[in-house]
Amino acid sequence: MPFIPHTDEDVSEMLGLIGAPSIEALFDEIPAALRIASLDAVPAALNELEVMQLMQARAHQDGRPLCFIGAGAYEHHIPAAVWSTISRGEFYSAYTPYQAEASQGTLQSIYEYQSMMASLTGMEVCNASLYDGATALAEAVLMAVRANRKSSSARILLPANVHPHYRAVALTTAGNQGVKFELLPYERGQGHTARETLDAFAGQDITALVIQQPNFFGVFEDVDALTDFAHAQGALVIAVVNPTSLALLKPPGAWGAKGANIVIGDGQPLGCPLSSGGPYFGFMSTRMEHVRQMPGRLVGRTVDLDGRPGFTLTLQAREQHIRRAKATSNICTNQGLLMLAGTLYMALLGAEGLERVAALSMQRTEQLARVLTGIPGVRRLFGRAGFHEIVLGLERPAAPVLADLSRRGIEGGLDLADYYPELGPALLVCATETKTPADIDSYGRALGEVLHAARAA
């Protein structure tokens, strides 16, 4: 909290009311042998001004670089009203209500969030958010195994162009629960999963197919053809999506003839700052036929005995509320604060505002591609259309290039060497609406100078 209002008199009064002589007496049940007399390694106490100066100095060490990284966490403009609102004490410090119906405001905010996300993804129901996008994929895989009762194989087709972190988390979480993942290759010149790649699985028992749209490379998949093939084999479809892109793209609920079965992703683009990697929130939506297999909580709208509208928890099949063996998940958080930020962000921007953000991000990325590929030694690896990320091939390893750019105040992208070594020296770069033409030109000049200097060395 930024301000603690209790004076010495306040503290004394509170201690008197509970009959304790001092704050130390509140801990008298801890055996003396387990308590230490001092904390020598802890710095001396600071006053408010000194704490602020220290934290500002620490923050300045990070600098304010131009960021073109992306790769699952995106720098979007966040209206000031979003965090000004959720930083209020009643939101910022609130915890999950265990007498839920007494917290109508919390339930209503979750209900509004669920309604917005169900609409955005084109699905019928959405849960009260999850931990993050990667764990949401793991949960979706386990949910698909439970929901697809026609399949007994627990086989999941997982394209190699799905986010590597998502794949790793899904494998760690679900792979240890009997789920078998089979990796699908991508088209080397285009970056997408070719529909013909799936022909080898025709007629086989496949539980689900994962489709990321746009995929990790920022490339668009032929979601209609992939979805229809999966359904023809009796498999479910798990869609992994960027929520910002859905302002422009066909929602997963409309993919192919029947639409995706489960939709997940990370809500970070919706009002959550980068914050060195978190916290973020995951989202999941599905069709009503699968709702009882969906993890997490659901809030519903109802009426009380007097006919007044109200909100209530309707489904919460977690291990806190059900026999552990019957639970759909043992992850017990719905990241309520970040979910509320996403709800406020969507409410403030509306459909039109979100569409402008998505369109401008695509426009800025195309400008970035033109500037960077105009530099000798830089080429675009995939010719297929995409959203706001592209993969660039370089003439030398990306790591030293990125290090040189960082020294110039530019975070130039993600080195793909550890994830996709077959691409050679490659860089994933991203631009959103926050990047101006001047920012893009600055990146272009810096990259050109770095490559020229390396070539001359």
What is the reported pLDDT for 94? 67
Domain at 66-71+353-456, CATH class: alpha beta
What is the reported pLDDT for 98? 63
CA dist list (Å): 271 to 161, 202, 319, 348, 387: 26, 42, 30, 10, 19
Q: Is the pLDDT of residue 129 over 90?
A: no
What is the reported pLDDT for 443? 98
Q: Is the pLDDT of residue 319 over 70?
A: no
Q: Is the pLDDT of residue 235 over 70?
A: yes
Question: Per-residue pLDDT averaged across 422-433, rounded?
Answer: 98
Q: Is the pLDDT of residue 13 over 80?
A: yes
Residue with tokens 């409309």: 254
Question: Per-residue pLDDT averaged across 42-46, rounded?
Answer: 88
Q: Is the pLDDT of residue 425 over 70?
A: yes
The model's confidence at residue 388, banded by pLDDT at 50, 70 and 90, is very high
Comparing 110-124, 255-269, 328-342, the range with the smallest average pLDDT is: 328-342
Q: Give the chain's mean pLDDT.
A: 92
What is the reported pLDDT for 95? 66
Comparing 166-180, 294-308, 322-336, 379-393, the range with the smallest average pLDDT is: 322-336
What is the reported pLDDT for 59? 85
What is the reported pLDDT for 322? 60
The model's confidence at residue 314, banded by pLDDT at 50, 70 and 90, is confident
Question: Per-residue pLDDT averaged across 310-330, rounded?
Answer: 70
Instruction: Please name which of 226, 234, 232, 284 lies closest in space to residue 255, comparing C-alpha atoms.
Output: 226
Cα–Cα distance, 64 to 411 (Å, whole number): 10
Q: What is the DSSP string of 187-212?
A: -TTT-S--GGGGGGGTTS---EEEEE
Q: CB count, 10 Å around CB of 97?
A: 15
What is the reported pLDDT for 332? 60
Delimit the CATH 3.90.1150.10 region(s) of the chain. 66-71+353-456
Q: Contact 447/401 with Cβ under 8 angstroms?
A: yes
Of the ranges 1-15, 28-42, 63-77, 90-104, which is most confident?
63-77
Question: Per-residue pLDDT averaged across 277-287, rounded?
Answer: 95
What is the reported pLDDT for 91? 83
Comparing 125-129, 332-336, 403-407, the range with the smallest average pLDDT is: 332-336
Q: CB count, 10 Å around CB of 112?
A: 18
Comparing 32-41, 188-197, 376-385, the range with the smallest average pLDDT is: 32-41
Give 109-121 pLDDT, tens digit per residue: 999 999 999 999 9
Question: Per-residue pLDDT averaged across 327-338, rounded?
Answer: 76
What is the reported pLDDT for 320? 54
Q: Is the pLDDT of residue 162 over 80?
A: yes
**Percent of the chain topping pLDDT 90:** 77
What is the reported pLDDT for 313? 84
CA dist list (Å): 97 to 22, 112, 321, 338: 31, 17, 14, 16
Instruction: Please name which of 287, 292, 282, 286 lies closest in space to residue 314, comparing C-alpha atoms.
Output: 292
Q: Is the pLDDT of residue 39 over 90?
A: no
The model's confidence at residue 103, banded by pLDDT at 50, 70 and 90, is confident
Question: Per-residue pLDDT averaged across 100-104, rounded?
Answer: 76
Delimit the CATH 3.40.640.10 region(s) of the chain. 80-345
**Percent of the chain topping pLDDT 70:** 95
With a CB cutoff of 8 Å and minimum separation 6, the contacts of 78 are 271, 272, 273, 345
* Residue 18 φ then ψ, to 5°: -95, 0
Question: Per-residue pLDDT averaged across 63-69, rounded?
Answer: 93
Instruction: Please name which of 181, 241, 240, 174 lies closest in space to residue 206, comparing C-alpha atoms.
Output: 181
What is the reported pLDDT for 455? 87
What is the reported pLDDT for 315? 76
**CATH number for region 80-345:** 3.40.640.10
| Sign, Cα dihedral of 145, 150, 153, 158 | negative
Predicted TM-score (pTM) of the model is: 0.89
Cα–Cα distance, 436 to 333 (Å, whole number): 37
